[in-house]
């Protein structure tokens, strides 16, 4: 019998009060291709938890993949749960109802496994809210034999030490195979009827699973991490024997069951990220979930390749999804057709980190246009060059406008961040765009990048004006939207040691840019300084932040990623009350020798490579893309035993 037997919220009960909340269809289910199994008929009940509202979660491709993979198994039922909006949180509390799943309206606490998707740090308080409303003890150490196993994956899992105290196990890397191995391990453990510690130990032996409670963090007196090391745990005789015997990998067995410590288990000193070898052969969703209310991305998505080798030095996605693994144009076209038919959508989006890099992009687009007649094809994440504009033109996107991301305004800055594009590229792309009928161009930039001077900031305005002038010279009146975000140094990147600039300084640079961007046809958009600041604190935080997170949640912090929802006073007070200095995390320059809170998690790219890239950034030296055939020595293929797979 799966889960903990608890009664679902009945439809009649829920129906009566749903009229009180905004967009009640967020909580009703009934979506096309949703899977509703009888909980009694399966061995493992898995809750796929997305810590943001329904419309955001339903737009997340990774969750759709895991939903299909897990429900593809007869012995597993995977149900979804999203962060309830404020009104629903109030209703749950008023009625004394627990947070429940969409499909069978089961309380979150009745699941065997609750798996969170961590897409951005500012969703951490929502994770706590969902656990709390779901009736699950917040801290891992307070959970007992009847509580669900709480796991988390996604990009943040590679450095999620601030929420390590709340998560039983992190799943690092690609989830297609790993999620099933976790389920199998859970099933095997459940059959033994042994303790929760046994489960954690068994999970820590699965490659790609990081069990934070099996590691101890020591700090230096200046607050930096001195080291993260496995804590030896005493297992019962029977557990010791059977888990040891089941550890097939002999080198892992001898490392984790040291002879000089009989009866003790020592988890692996570092945890490697999981990668699937081939995207071409990876699980594919043939029955996409179609929400009944409009999600953020209202179209079907086909991943054309995973990983990116552009090597932009600020970009975490560019390192933690390596190496590049492509699908063939035939497969992509066949998938797109199936998805369009099964969903009723008229648009397919080709998902990747840099679409124009796809080896057969032109062939793919013409195949799609003949293979999926009447459907639109959209291509996000274009490069800033004329080739990309040609692609956009092929797709007839001129009525919607063109979005390009030069990321920095001056050539000097673009060299620092390894954005391999010259001003000439940008201007000729713009000229091409205007002559192709685009009148609206949206440009993405970052400010606060390492080494940035005022000239680099004003160069953004100059570039926008040059682009506007090109349009004017061609007899059109273009609109240039300049969208600017504050740079947040991220773990696993060459800039992971750099300080994030102070909020006041970011504000000054924003104003500097605004002053340069006045005039007709120029539109300036920028992110809140507060969001940048909090993200910078949490992104590279350590376990000491757990107390602050918990307190912030208790004091009402929710949906911090949403503009107008982040209450910065709560956070400042919380840091004050917990005696933590946010500047220590956000604004401090870290030494190359310093142990970083995520150093025990091996994402494949070597630290030496990141340091070399940092050095090259300082000297403004470009590193080329390894797609072209020159290995840059990042180490990922060797470390993870995979190869770049171009089709």
As a residue count, the chain comes to 647
Q: Which is nearer to another protein, 292 or 476 (CB)?
A: 292
Q: Which stretch binds another protein (CB under 8 A): 14-22, 141-149, 461-469, 589-597?
A: 14-22
Region 461-480 residues binding another protein, contact defined as CB under 8 A: none
Candidates 16, 86, 95, 618; binder of another protein (CB under 8 A) is 16
Judged by beta carbon, residue 20 or residue 589, the one nearer another protein is 20
Assign 149 to helix, strand or coil. strand
235 vs 264: CA distance, rounded Å: 6
Q: Coil, strand or helix: which one is 395?
A: coil
Which CB atom, from 25 or from 512, has the smaller least distance to another protein?
25
Sole window of 196-204, 271-279, 292-300, 624-632 interacting with another protein (rule: CB under 8 A): 292-300
Q: Please name the residues in contact with 515: beta carbons below 8 A apart, sequence gap of 6 or more.
A: none
Which CB sits closer to another protein, 16 or 511? 16
Retrieve residue 615's tokens: 């050095």
The footprint of another protein on residues 316-345 (CB under 8 A) is: 341-345
Mark residues 156-195: x for contact with another protein by CB under 8 A, - for none.
----------------------------------------
Q: CB-wise, 53 or 596, nearer to another protein?
A: 53
* Contact between residue 205 and residue 131 where contact means Cβ atoms under 8 Å apart: no
Out of 180, 197, 282, 293, point to the residue binding another protein (CB under 8 A): 293
Nearer to another protein, 19 or 144 (CB): 19
CB of 81 to another protein, least distance (A): 16
Residue 477 CB neighbour total at 10 angstroms: 10
Least Å distance, CB 294 to another protein, is: 7
Structure tokens at 240: 């010791």
Interface with another protein, residue 294, by CB under 8 A: yes
**From the CB of 3, what's the least distance to another protein, in Å?**
23
User: Who's near 247: CB < 8 A, 6+ residues apart?
Assistant: 205, 253, 256, 257
Q: What is the per-residue binding string for another protein in 395-424, x denoting contact by CB under 8 A? A: -x--x-------------------------
Closest C-alpha among 55, 610, 559, 603 to residue 307: 603
Q: Is 137 in the site for another protein (CB under 8 A)?
A: no
Nearer Cβ to another protein, position 11 or 562? 11
Q: Phi-psi category of 202—alpha, beta or left, where left has phi over 0 and alpha has psi -120 to 50?
A: alpha
Residue position matching structure tokens 């009847």: 146
Evaluate whether 134 touches 82 at the Cβ level (below 8 Å).
no
Q: Token pair for residue 279? A: 């995207």
Centre a 10 Å sphere on the Cβ of residue 280 and count the other Cβ atoms it contains.
Answer: 17
Residue 103 or 132 having the CB closest to another protein: 103
Q: How far is the CB of 134 from another protein (least distance, A)?
A: 21
Please give the Cα distance from 633 to 476 (Å, whole number): 47
CB 130 within 8 A of CB 109: no
To another protein, the closest distance from the beta carbon of 23 in angstroms equals 8
Nearer to another protein, 166 or 345 (CB): 345
Rounded to 10 degrees, what is the CA torsion of 238, 244, 245, 248? 160
Could you tell me where the DSSP H helices lie in 480-562?
A: 503-516, 529-539, 546-554
Residue holding tokens 């889960």?
3
The residue among 522, 517, 501 whose CA lies nearest residue 459 is 517
Closest distance between another protein and the C-beta of residue 399, in Å? 6
Instruction: Read off the tokens for 179.
Output: 């999620």
Give the nearest distance from C-beta 17 to another protein in angstroms.
Answer: 6
Angstrom distance (rounded) from CA 218 to CA 350: 45
Rounded least distance, CB 68 to another protein, Å? 18
Interface with another protein: number of residues (CB under 8 A) = 29
Cβ-based nearer residue to another protein, 295 or 541: 295
Q: Which is nearer to another protein, 282 or 292 (CB)?
A: 292
- Nearest CA to 96 out of 135, 129, 125, 49 is that of 135
Q: Please, which residue, 287 or 442, has the CB nearer to another protein?
A: 287
Among 19-27, 462-470, 539-547, 594-602, which window interacts with another protein (CB under 8 A)? Answer: 19-27
369 phi and psi angles, rounded to 5 deg? -70, -30
**Cβ-based nearer residue to another protein, 32 or 245:** 32
Within residues 22-61, the interface with another protein by CB under 8 A covers 23-25, 28-32
**Ranges within 218-247 binding another protein (CB under 8 A):** none
- The Cα–Cα gap between 392 and 401 comes to 9
Residue 340 · residue 300 · CB < 8 Å? yes
Q: Report the alpha-carbon distance of residue 97 to residue 398 in Å, rounded.
A: 49
Enumerate residues 341-380 that contact another protein by CB under 8 A: 341-346, 374, 376
Q: Is 437 in the site for another protein (CB under 8 A)?
A: no
The answer to the question of residue 445 lying near another protein (CB under 8 A) is: no
**Segment holding 80, helix H or strand E:** strand 76-82
- Placement of tokens 């990774």 in the chain: 62
Give the shortest CB-362-to-another protein separation in angstroms: 23
Which is nearer to another protein, 16 or 630 (by Cβ)?
16
Q: 333 or 343: whose CB is closer to another protein?
A: 343
Nearer to another protein, 3 or 29 (CB): 29
Closest approach, Cβ 375 to another protein, in A, equals 10
Q: Residue 310 is inside which H or E element, if any?
A: none
Instruction: For Cα atoms 293, 298, 303, give the angle at the middle one, nearest 5 degrees.
Output: 135
The DSSP letter of residue 596 is P
CB-CB contact of 597 with 327 (8 Å):
no
CB of 34 to another protein, least distance (A): 9
Main-chain dihedrals φ then ψ at residue 408, nearest 5 degrees: -140, 155
Q: How far is the CB of 93 from another protein (least distance, A)?
A: 16
Interaction of residue 15 with another protein, rule CB under 8 A: yes
Cβ 371 to another protein shortest distance, Å: 16
**Of the residues 20, 141, 261, 630, which one makes contact with another protein according to CB under 8 A:** 20
- Measured at the alpha carbon of residue 349, what is the angle toward residues 347 and 352, in degrees to the nearest 5? 175
Q: Which stretch binds another protein (CB under 8 A): 291-299, 430-438, 536-544, 570-578?
A: 291-299
Rounded to the nearest whole angstrom, what is the least distance from the CB of residue 19 to another protein in the complex? 4
Q: Which of 49, 58, 225, 290 binds another protein (CB under 8 A)?
A: 290
What is the Cα–Cα distance from 56 to 294, expressed in whole angstroms?
10
In the complex, the smallest distance separating the C-beta of residue 329 from another protein, rounded to whole angstroms, is 24
Q: CB burial class (10 A; 0-12, 13-18, 19+) of residue 186? A: buried
Cβ-based nearer residue to another protein, 440 or 555: 440
Q: Which residues of this protein are in contact with another protein, per CB under 8 A?
A: 11, 15-20, 23-25, 28-32, 290, 292-294, 341-346, 374, 376, 396, 399
């Amino acid at each position: 019998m799966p889960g903990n037997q608890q009664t679902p919220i009945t439809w009649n009960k829920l129906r009566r009060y749903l009229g009180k909340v905004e967009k009640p269809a967020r909580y009703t289910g009934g979506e096309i291709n949703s899977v509703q199994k009888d909980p009694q008929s399966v061995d493992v009940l898995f809750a796929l938890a997305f810590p943001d509202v329904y419309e955001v979660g339903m737009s997340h491709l990774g969750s759709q993949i895991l939903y299909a993979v897990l429900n593809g198994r007869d012995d597993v039922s995977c149900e979804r749960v999203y962060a309830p909006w404020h009104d629903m949180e109030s209703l749950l509390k008023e009625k004394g109802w627990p947070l429940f799943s969409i499909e069978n309206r089961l309380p979150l606490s009745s699941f065997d496994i609750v798996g969170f998707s961590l897409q951005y740090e500012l969703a951490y308080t929502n994770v706590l809210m969902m656990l709390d409303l779901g009736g699950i003890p917040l801290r891992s150490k307070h959970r007992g034999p009847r509580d669900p196993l709480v796991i988390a994956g996604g990009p943040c899992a590679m450095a999620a030490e601030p929420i390590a105290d709340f998560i039983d196990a992190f799943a690092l890397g690609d989830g297609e195979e790993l999620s099933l191995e976790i389920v199998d391990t859970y099933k095997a453990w459940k059959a033994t009827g042994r303790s929760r510690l046994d489960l954690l130990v068994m999970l820590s032996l699965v490659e790609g699973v990081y069990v934070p409670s099996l590691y101890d963090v020591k700090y230096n007196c200046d607050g930096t991490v001195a080291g993260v090391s496995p804590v030896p745990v005493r297992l019962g005789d029977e557990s010791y024997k059977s888990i040891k015997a089941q550890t097939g990998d002999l080198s892992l067995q001898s490392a984790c069951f040291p002879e000089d410590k009989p009866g003790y288990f020592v988890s692996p000193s570092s945890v490697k990220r999981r990668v699937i070898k081939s995207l071409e052969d990876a699980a594919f969703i043939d029955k996409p979930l179609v929400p009944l209310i409009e999600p953020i991305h209202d179209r079907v998505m086909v991943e054309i390749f995973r990983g990116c080798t552009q090597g932009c030095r600020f970009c975490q996605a560019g390192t933690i999804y390596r190496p590049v693994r492509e699908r063939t144009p035939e497969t992509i076209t066949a998938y797109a057709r199936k998805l369009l038919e099964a969903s009723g959508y008229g648009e397919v989006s080709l998902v990747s980190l840099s679409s124009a890099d796809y080896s057969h992009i032109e062939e793919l687009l013409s195949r799609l246009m003949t293979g999926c007649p009447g459907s639109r094809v959209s291509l996000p994440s274009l490069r800033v060059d004329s080739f990309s504009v040609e692609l956009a033109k092929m797709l007839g996107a001129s009525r919607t406008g063109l979005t390009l991301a030069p990321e920095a305004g001056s050539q000097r800055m673009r060299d620092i961040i390894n954005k391999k594009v010259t001003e000439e590229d940008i201007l000729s792309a713009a000229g091409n765009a205007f002559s192709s009928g685009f009148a609206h161009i949206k440009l993405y930039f970052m400010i606060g990048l390492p080494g940035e001077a005022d000239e680099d900031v004003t160069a953004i305005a100059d570039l926008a004006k040059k682009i506007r002038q090109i349009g004017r010279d061609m007899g059109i009146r273009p609109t240039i939207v300049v969208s600017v975000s504050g740079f947040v140094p991220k773990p696993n990147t060459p800039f992971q040691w750099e300080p994030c600039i102070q909020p006041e300084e970011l504000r000054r640079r924003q104003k500097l840019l605004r002053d340069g961007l006045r005039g007709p046809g120029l539109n300036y958009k920028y992110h809140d300084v507060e969001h940048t600041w909090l993200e910078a604190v949490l992104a590279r935080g350590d376990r000491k932040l757990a107390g602050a997170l918990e307190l912030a949640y208790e004091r009402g912090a929710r949906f911090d990623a949403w503009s107008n929802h982040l209450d910065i006073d709560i956070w400042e007070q919380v840091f004050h009350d917990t005696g933590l200095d946010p500047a220590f995390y956000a604004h401090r320059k870290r030494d190359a020798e310093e142990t970083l809170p995520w150093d025990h998690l091996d994402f494949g790219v070597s630290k030496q490579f990141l340091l070399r890239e940092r050095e090259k950034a300082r000297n403004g030296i470009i590193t080329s893309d390894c797609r072209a055939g020159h290995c840059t020595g990042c180490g990922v293929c060797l470390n993870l035993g995979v190869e770049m797979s171009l089709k």
